[in-house]
Amino acid sequence: MSSKLATTPGPRADELGFDVERIREDFPILRTRVNGKPLVFLDNAASSQMPQAVIDRYVRYRSSEHANIHRGVHHLSEVATREYEAVRGRVRAWVNASEEREIIYTSGTTDSINLVMHGYGRKFIGAGDEIILSVLEHHSNIVPWQMLAEEKGARIRVIPCNDAGELLMGEYRKLFSDRTRFVAVTHVSNALGTVNPIAEMAAIAHGHGVPVLVDGAQAAPHLPVDVQALDCDFYAFSSHKMCGPTGAGILYGKARHLEAMQPFRGGGDMIASVTFEKTTYAPIPHKFEAGTPAIAEVIGLGAAIDYLNAIGIGQIKAHEDELLRHATDRVGALPGVRIIGTAREKAAVLSFELDGIHPHDVGTLLNEEGVAVRTGHHCAQPVMRRFDVPATVRASFAFYNTLPEIDTLVAAIRKVQKVFAG
């Protein structure tokens, strides 16, 4: 079947001066061959690739700038501290936070969400209180809240979705009660690609005096993110999904929340003073950054943001929208294929299943054609149960993917179907 789903049409990327072949030259790994065939990397929702500029920056830090940061008075420590702290300003601008002290370095989205659960949730959520999640959440935005609910005797309530994978906003409104204390929701579903109406959801929650955490792991690399316009209270995302290294991530939080929260971890670099009688914590953001951090990885994230800024998030989104429309039409037109998730607003993800063929078998055979996709439940088992499937095949796109690569995916799917047709 042909589908009309996927993203509101906007200007084409090439009309904006976007040259994908030129950009691909920046990514050495895209010259890899798999099973004698050119790599078609469509697993970007799991982890995107790093351009040479990020690799070079990472190596330069390791080879000529490395030292521990902050308290050192020697040259290398001062250089490392300056480069590390300068990234905070780049991140602030990337999400349009109002202040650099609202940007907390973490190890990734999961770590960011756990920080909020421990720092905010354990202090402000108690027995009988309610936490609202959505059925579209990644496990990283479910499990921490379940742990909190079990510890405190709180209750999890879940926003359902329709058959397209869109959250039911009327049901969301009904979930609020005088015991609702927190909302945690994904910006973009990692399993389906659905873009949730975060600004509207935050406005509804704030109407009840309830703060909102947004899992932005699948949004920050693909959409313009403006945390002030969204008016979310917390926003979490990872470096490795936006062309940076693994091991670094970001938690944005409104300053008044961060100041009221208790630290998640205690140790060096997060204190103002320590005696055996009492510890006074450092001001935000350092209150939440105990111990020696992932210095090289944070500096690599800064280089990734510089690289993405040089291309422009508007051009990135336009190109990825075109990839998604093309993939949706081509894959959706194949007989025996069902697309899972047909929301009106989607970003960079196409999940599907093939009649009578397990997704793991599909992924294995696609790999023989050089096509890298993700198969499984994508750490989103409630989504799989909602659509009554054990797993899906997920192709996820980045700005360095091309329309011919989508055609290679389609041809490879046809080969898989022929193999299983005998």
Residue in this structure with the two tokens 């397990």, named with its chain if needed: 358
Locate 199 and state its tokens.
């600004």
Give CA–CA dist 344/340, Å, rounded: 13
Q: Which amino acid is at 87?
A: V
Q: What does 223-266 look like in DSSP terms, one character per residue?
A: S---HHHHT-SEEEEESTTTTS-TT-EEEEE-HHHHHHSPPSS-
379 is catalytic: yes
| Torsion angle in degrees (nearest 10) through CA of 129, 133, 139, 143 | 0
What phi and psi values does residue 105 have, to the nearest 5 degrees? -80, 135
Helix or strand holding residue 394 (H, E): strand 392-396
Do the beta carbons of residue 192 and residue 164 sit within 8 Å? Answer: no
Do the beta carbons of residue 195 and residue 347 sit within 8 Å? Answer: yes
Q: List beta partners, residue 250.
A: 105, 237
Catalytic one of 161, 232, 243, 379 = 379
Q: Closest by alpha carbon to 44, among 185, 224, 193?
A: 193
356-385 burial by CB neighbour count: b if 16+ within 10 A, else e? ebebeebbebbbebbbbbbbbbbbbebbbe
Sign of CA dihedral 310, 313, 319, 324: positive
End-to-end CA distance of the chain: 23
Locate 212 and state its tokens.
């909102």
Strands of 180-186's sheet in order across: 103-106, 249-253, 234-238, 212-215, 180-186, 130-134, 155-159
Give CA–CA dist 144/214, Å, rounded: 14
| Torsion angle in degrees (nearest 10) through CA of 188, 168, 330, 396 | 20
Helix or strand holding residue 19 (H, E): none
Active site members? 379
